[in-house]
Chains A and B, each alone.
Chain A
């Protein structure tokens, strides 16, 4: 059973493509990747932040666990939404093809938050005539899922406390227009998580990233991870992507989602501890330590 990661690369010339990748040094290197559309060259991608960081973390973690590598569906998009639009259109069609039959789960990441594109994918998933795969959403696609009103169809969202305030604010269309966004802290997580769940704007599980990572099930906090405490991880671009990549790896390996959330939070902190970053460290420096930082399932 395969897991599919969907996201973008910050390069408008990068072709829409799907397949498996390996990590070599600071690069994500295509291994068995097919271009979806006109023939084009698929270049290696630097692991700097965003979906390449998430994918690299998932690839390395599954390699260490001996699991099947994830498939990755990537589009080039520097923010115009054109690449994301191509990905939405391709994925909603592909999900109805026999090629998607063995899909165990999907992780959605940096995509332009289009409610229309989101709804087409969700509809395609629900019309397959098979059980809906596990669904994890982070970043722009999580925003789209909330805005669509169908957040509760998802298994896991991975917000920080500010993004949780966005989920909890029924009227907010984006974190930029969220009441109390920067005032939300770890202490507010239980109340905000309950509000988001009561509005139907939360996934079944939340992995809320912060000084204390909290796992929430149906609006109630059910787990906390606070050690080791590494304040320098917050400014490093890509540490949230690292957490979501690890969550994807554990879920793909068959770990139940609640436990996968806890293990991902623990493993990201352990990886950070081994990396010993400063606020100027790049996320690529974390990658060699992922295997050694993995927490073990019970």
Chain B
């Protein structure tokens, strides 16, 4: 009932009650030193980050978390990787218990197979390992990454995380790695996935 009232209020033109507050995410680290280092490096890279106290459900690591623009997760992870910083968790501020999509959907198209991670799909030709299509996504780097990937061999293609910026790019990275794993496990084509 509350949901219906909320929806009615929004449709009537009332301000969104919680404003879906949230393009931000929390980076959770094990140690305070990592938090300070992450903040410094991300600020130097131009990201608007802040150190804050974690909400109760995230009090598993140190007593501080870094807030960052969630939709730039792929670019933020790249900076952290460069500093060998590995967060224990990355979660949305709006729902700290929300987990990233971890399942893959694999579809068999005979001579091709498609791997979907979240809202992004990558399709590979079984016989050659050639990436033949990339679809889905909503952020502008998915069409860009697709233009780089299509026609490349899944074994040697540059991973999407290298050029990607956004959460959609991060989803594409996941799909890419799963497609590469499936292709390799099948011994280079023939019966992978499906």
Contact = CB atoms under 8 A, between A and B. Distances in A.
B76 interface: no
A139 interface: yes
A150 B10 contact: yes
Interface in B61-75: 70-73, 75
A8 B23 contact: no
Q: Counting chain B CB atoms within 10 Å of each CB, which of A11, A113, A279 scores highest? A: A279
B139 A182 contact: no
B158 to A, nearest CB: 14
A149 B138 contact: no
B135 A139 contact: no
Contacts of A280: 112, 123, 125, 132-133
Contact of B140 (A110, A172, A174, A239): A110
A182 B103 contact: yes
Contacts of A124: none
Interface in A138-156: 138-143, 146-152
Q: Counting chain A CB atoms within 10 Å of each CB, which of B22, B107, B111 scores highest? A: B22
B146 A171 contact: no
A100 interface: no
B57 interface: no
B10 A152 contact: yes
A240 B133 CA distance: 13
A148 B15 CA distance: 10
Contacts of A112: 71, 139-140, 166
A200 B6 CA distance: 7
B20 interface: yes
A111 interface: yes
Interface in B15-70: 15-20, 22-23, 25, 70
B143 A149 contact: no
B164 interface: yes
A237 B144 contact: no
Contacts of A182: 101, 103-105, 116, 118
Q: Counting chain A CB atoms within 10 Å of each CB, which of B111, B144, B170 scores highest? A: B144
Contacts of B145: 79
B188 interface: no
Nearest to A51: B143
B101 A200 contact: no
Contacts of A142: 138
Given A198-B7, A232-B109, A280-B133, 14 more contacts: A10-B144, A50-B140, A79-B165, A83-B140, A138-B138, A140-B138, A146-B20, A147-B20, A171-B92, A175-B119, A175-B138, A175-B171, A278-B112, A281-B133
